[in-house]
Amino acid sequence: NAGVTQTPKFRVLKTGQSMTLLCAQDMNHEYMYWYRQDPGMGLRLIHYSVGEGTTAKGEVPDGYNVSRLKKQNFLLGLESAAPSQTSVYFCASSYIFLAGDSDTQYFGPGTRLTVL
């Protein structure tokens, strides 16, 4: 049981290049999330998904796209990377997230992305 995994762990891009970050979970979780973490800014939600085939925007969605074609995978894409997207990206998942009876979000190990 690997939990939540992310690939790659590190990546360096040039401005304008594209890339896809992969998040996978083997806990049969319905909900998946992508966050970015910048110094002094905490964890900010980029996009999330409440089930296979669904996606929704979070707090900072501009410049990113996501897809959830399979329940266990959640992809984050950068079509044209910018230096402002230099950050550590965390994926998370939870079994179910009911208001008033919420479940734990389990985080992946993170991807450190640098855009030059």
Binding site for another protein (CB under 8 A): 31, 33, 40-45, 48, 50, 58-59, 90, 97, 99-102, 104-105, 107-110
Pairing of strands 97-98, 4-7: unpaired
Residue placing its CB nearer to another protein in the complex, 17 or 45:
45
Beta bridge partners of 91: 34
Closest approach of another protein to the CB of residue 80, in Å:
26
CA pair distance 49, 53, nearest whole angstrom:
8
Closer residue to another protein (CB): 85 or 93: 93
